[in-house]
Structure 1
């Protein structure tokens, strides 16, 4: 095509017109301090930076600052476990970021409070992926928050290492960025049902759940296996109630089951157990890892004695490396180590190792998020506080541990001393 010549004077005139018509750029809002949790309403008021489509290369972060974000409930009734995740991750970053510092980078923690709600988690996720300095994410506590939030991480090619999420959908979507260092509910639910059948002698069960992706999901897996084993499932009921559970407990009293199974979190489970006993329900009580918190004892009092729960987070007494971790954690934060603190520590170390490996593979330069995600997924034989970790092709552990524990004391300070009655090493379910 023939090109036309435009005079220099005309070009200058056009440039002045365009400049006069263009709006003045607005200054960007300052980012929250990386060492402080954002406020609950800290979602960005300006539109987040445009995210790359899935499959496209994400831009590398600029400058020498690298951030690792955390997402977990830091406020509200589930904050005991959520804070434990954040604290464990923080301790790992403080102790183990020296290698990246020697490479010329400053490493910062960016903690976010997801309030155990999907909407807040997704809003935070948008803010996280909008910060190009964030190269990895440790989170979440709740699968119902992690599943929608991880859609944002996937679209931005941001690596996620979950210390607690057990719903199968976390990994079965096949996202290369999404990994977990705990087992899955389609196994944990089966472990619980088999234990109830063979060890507790249960013939009939009434199943409750909290209507979340986690609680209802694991309750479904428990029910399927219970029915397969010949147990009589007398009821399957969901509740979002937070205080008075009389409406769901009255039918249980009439049904008189051998066992009540609750799929959910301790903030409801402790009250359900207490109100069960006060109502005269004598059935045994069993639940999953969401009940694994000393807050169960605070809420249910003496009624926690002899209850059982399954968990993917083993007691630290079983792990040789945990003694120093416990001492360091209690010295740093001045409080008892809660479940998932050690998993938060291991998840952060896997992030840091992945970032360092990506830097080395990139010739010492700052890597892209996609490069970090690939390095994290390649994790093999990581020898952590909670045992050896190797990811398979979809981000599950090749072999995960499952535990059944029985509570022996109503003293919250003795929660960690609950008796381990069964330990199982089970390979990951086959990926589709």
Structure 2
């Protein structure tokens, strides 16, 4: 018995010694972990954690202990920028998975630019996220100038809309998406009643009254599920069953929960594929459910893919650096110029400004609170 106890003690000491011999390297996630958009933010962080766990052995073989540290940006540009400065100050962080919101990504990536900390976004769609040409800003999802026309085409071709009421949430994301939808609809002769911005979160009675008066064929809302869900609930309670269309900010199971009995005749384009549309996601979905005790959603899968791009970029940079910990600049370059395979959403490579060279948009339908894939659309950015 004593020999056995001693053996365990020796083994434990050796294990601790081996762990302490590894050099700590980190990636960070930067998403809303609290507040009204935390459902999507935690999906991204959790997906990234699954990827980090899978990559631990590869990093250990190079003498590194890879870790994920999650930062809460609260879906707020100022909070996200402050977190980005903390990330820049932690020299062990070599890359970032994030953000969820384009309005957070823009100032946060600027704050990280001087430190050459690369970001791989699983969610940002606003054109200006990459149009600024920052060497550290990359995304694995389609842009607004792809997503907006897809939403407009759905309104025209599937819903046969001739008169559309457009809303946006006054953020870089919502305004950008609504602008692209507006432009695409007007180009095809569809009447746009208005493109109205609102920061309202709880009382949409004045907007609902205007919609009732205008009687549009469809409503497009560029915004996030926590705001749009409340709007839909009040719209339906007012007896208006007009189709509501939006973008990937509506891509959350919480949308139907918030909308309640009104969760029908809803459609949204999304850059994050539903899990059932990703044949390679079966193992990931099982691991996610086992680890976090809740089902994975599309942004969980794309958080996983964005993390895999970041992690593989670090490994590629390390191998080019003689199997030593690479610099942030080396990682930044390895991510931008890399070609990444084995991802749930397909192969990823970036153009000169950090846009994914080829991707897919998905159109989801919500009827009776149930989500269903309506169609998928291959897309490419204008610049290759």
TM-score range for the pair, normalised by the shorter chain length: over 0.9
User: Is 2:378 the partner of 1:419?
Assistant: no
CA distance in structure 2 between the aligned counterparts of 1:319 and 1:236, rounded to whole angstroms: 34
Q: Hey, what does 1:43 align to over in structure 2? A: none
Q: Hey, what does 1:309 align to over in structure 2? A: 268
Alignment of 1:228-239 (within 5 A): 228-239=187-198
Between 1:419-428 and 1:173-182, the stretch displaced more is 419-428
CA distance in structure 2 between the aligned counterparts of 1:341 and 1:175, rounded to whole angstroms: 25
3-state secondary structure, aligned to 1:407 = strand
Among 50, 53, 56, which residue is 1:94 paired with? 53
Q: TM-score, normalised by structure 2?
A: 0.92
Q: Is the 8 A contact 1:237 1:248 kept in 2?
A: no
Q: Hey, what does 1:428 align to over in structure 2? A: 381
CA distance in structure 2 between the aligned counterparts of 1:350 and 1:130, rounded to whole angstroms: 22
CA distance in structure 2 between the aligned counterparts of 1:393 and 1:254, rounded to whole angstroms: 47
3-state secondary structure, aligned to 2:192 = strand
Q: Hey, what does 2:106 align to over in structure 1? A: 147
Shift of 1:381: 4.3
CA distance in structure 2 between the aligned counterparts of 1:199 and 1:135, rounded to whole angstroms: 45
Among 347, 350, 365, which residue is 1:391 paired with? 350
Q: Is the 8 A contact 1:70 1:110 kept in 2?
A: yes
Shift of 1:383: 2.5
> Structure 1: which 5+ runs fail to align?
1-62
User: Is 2:69 the partner of 1:116?
Assistant: no
Q: Hey, what does 1:219 align to over in structure 2? A: 178
Q: Is the 8 A contact 1:185 1:218 kept in 2?
A: yes
CA distance in structure 1 between the aligned counterparts of 2:23 and 2:375, rounded to whole angstroms: 47
Q: Hey, what does 2:336 align to over in structure 1? A: 377
CA distance in structure 2 between the aligned counterparts of 1:419 and 1:294, rounded to whole angstroms: 12
CA distance in structure 1 between the aligned counterparts of 2:120 and 2:73, rounded to whole angstroms: 16
> CA RMSD of the aligned region, Å?
1.2
Q: Is the 8 A contact 2:237 2:262 kept in 1?
A: no
Q: Is the 8 A contact 2:309 2:340 kept in 1?
A: no
Q: Is the 8 A contact 2:365 2:373 kept in 1?
A: yes
CA distance in structure 2 between the aligned counterparts of 1:430 and 1:350, rounded to whole angstroms: 21
Q: Hey, what does 2:256 align to over in structure 1? A: 297
Q: Hey, what does 1:325 align to over in structure 2? A: 284
Alignment of 1:200-215 (within 5 A): 200-215=159-174
User: Is 2:232 the partner of 1:279?
Assistant: no
Q: Is the 8 A contact 2:275 2:297 kept in 1?
A: no
CA distance in structure 2 between the aligned counterparts of 1:350 and 1:193, rounded to whole angstroms: 31
Q: Is the 8 A contact 1:316 1:386 kept in 2?
A: no
Alignment of 1:155-304 (within 5 A): 155-304=114-263
3-state secondary structure, aligned to 1:340 = helix
Q: Hey, what does 1:20 align to over in structure 2? A: none
Q: Is the 8 A contact 1:81 1:339 kept in 2?
A: no
Among 44, 47, 71, which residue is 2:30 paired with? 71
3-state secondary structure, aligned to 1:144 = helix
> Structure 2: which 5+ runs fail to align?
1-21
Give the total of aligned pairs: 363
Measured against aligned partners, the alpha-carbon deviations of 1:123-177 in whole angstroms (never above 9, x if no partner) come to 0000000111110000000000111000012121111100101111111111111
Measured against aligned partners, the alpha-carbon deviations of 1:275-327 in whole angstroms (never above 9, x if no partner) come to 11112223211111101111111111132223111111111112121111110
CA distance in structure 2 between the aligned counterparts of 1:95 and 1:383, rounded to whole angstroms: 13
3-state secondary structure, aligned to 1:387 = coil
CA distance in structure 2 between the aligned counterparts of 1:301 and 1:231, rounded to whole angstroms: 31
Moved over 6 A (4+): none
